[in-house]
Structure 1
Amino acid sequence: MNILHCLKSFLFTVDCGSFSAAARTLYISPSKLSKQISWLEDELKVKLFVRSTRQLTLTESGQRLYGKVIKLFDELEQVKSIASTEHLVPHGTIQLYLTVTPAIPYLTQLSIQFMQEYPKIKMDILVGSEDLSTYQHPFDLAISFDAIKHPKLLCNKLFSIRRKIYASPDYINKHGSPKTIEDLANYNCLINTLYSLQNKWIFNKKVIHVNGNFKSNSADILKQAAIEGIGLIWTPSFSVLKEIQEGQLVPVLPDDVSPEIALYSIYPKHLADATKIRLLMDFFYTKALQDRISEG
């Protein structure tokens, strides 16, 4: 057997937490992966896992090997990076996991633009709300509002955004525009029930309690309600960028914004130097600055 293939299967088994999950990620059968691990144990003359019906646990030898394998694949990535520019064209599949509901349309759009710039890249986008600190779903890169700590993952700030108020031109024509954030008490405000804030809109200077006759845990539904003139929406600008450009929504009290909210990039440690992951993160960051939805 190819020892590098077996070491890769070992690495993914540890990261994914089970033979079956690792096999799915690597697109091989569980039996083949199991044979690779058994061959590796025979070749190294050590037991790598303590197997039980409930969980898969690394032995001390397995833990030592895991650390060395991560370094090995990091060095292999560095060796690849020495190649000439024409061989550095990123390729392969990126498994992108998105938990930031309001940002999904925007990040999807950027992912498509990234593929157009790098046509050898394939995207596999999964949307969910799982706690990423459990690392139950294998991914190459995740984007989250939550900073996490996990021994197998790296977490870094990608960029920051702010929530702002928007409304349709029709709503402003009918009801006028508030002059101050205190005036929001006299307007119909669309309430996002996904987050604990709900009827509290937070600005740099104070917290404003708002009320309205329309609630949802979906950013897309609230956006549609705002477009239809139901009320004011408080949301990050990336979630309404297209609607602003098309004139369906306009800023309200543009100087009154929320405190900075960080978006984090989360990725496995063994992919820290992977060219395609670095390029995608840089692409997201650069586009966010160009689109003026982030201050860095």
Structure 2
Amino acid sequence: MVNNNSPLVLALRRFTRHKLAMTSGMVLLVMILLALCAPLFEIWLGVGANDVNLLNRLQGPSLAHPLGTDELGRDQFLRLLYGGRVSLFVGFTAAVFSVVIGTVIGLTAGYFGGRVDAFLMRMTDSFIALPGLPLLIVIAAIDLSKLGLPDAWVQSESVSLYRIVFIVALLGWTGEARLVRGAALSLREREFVMAAKGAGASHRHIMFHHILPNLLSPIIVAVTLSIGGVILVESALSFLGLGIQPPVASWGNMLTNAQQLIWEAPMQAVYPGLMIFITVIAFNFLGDGLQDAFDPKAEY
């Protein structure tokens, strides 16, 4: 039997009353479903997302091409769907890895305190002090073939996707680390933690079975809020030509291709730009809704 006064039920009730968050969640769900169904739309339209037809370039919307075609005659609607697959995958995966790294570092620092805390937090401060976007650009511009990696892997179409995930996760964990560290500092003094120590529980058991479950709410919120930021970073790097590389489509490199046609075919830039804007705003509203839902003092 479900307890109507349990924290999870109360959080769900507060979330359902947050209209912007609920609307954003529905919008994101529709976008994800459309992106996942991209192969079905290819079959329905009878054309591939990467099929080039120079005789049909920059065409307007039609039954054959719902959003028209791009500068190479490729279907704009299908490329938006596949670009959404890539951008959403990069955003979600990099955000999850960032939060995992930040959670481990913050939990370790907050639980042990002392010199461990001082060392990990000074390391975190060092990462925060680094110039974010310039450093991302420098790392993204590294020639992977000179690092001794296999040529088959370096030349694969998906290598740029995984590289972006790695770069963003490597540099994007600092905020989550400070958040988790602050919460862990408070939780380690609670009675249930003291009781576990008195019972002889190991540090690892206390950290991952007693403290970490009480941090899930802020961690979930952090993941949600991070996804929008990661999508913006991926879009910026792809726009600069250092992110997802063609022929793999992403919203960022679609903007890059459209910049030279902004006066001739402005909708080439409007479509991916609008998708980025809607996605980032929706994730931010969803994160705000989750933050209010998990806050017991919220008035929702």
- TM-score using structure 1 length: 0.26
Q: Which has a greater percent of helix?
A: 2
Q: Which has a greater percent of strand?
A: 1
| Higher RCO (CA 8 Å, separation ≥ 6 residues) | 2
- TM-score using structure 2 length: 0.25
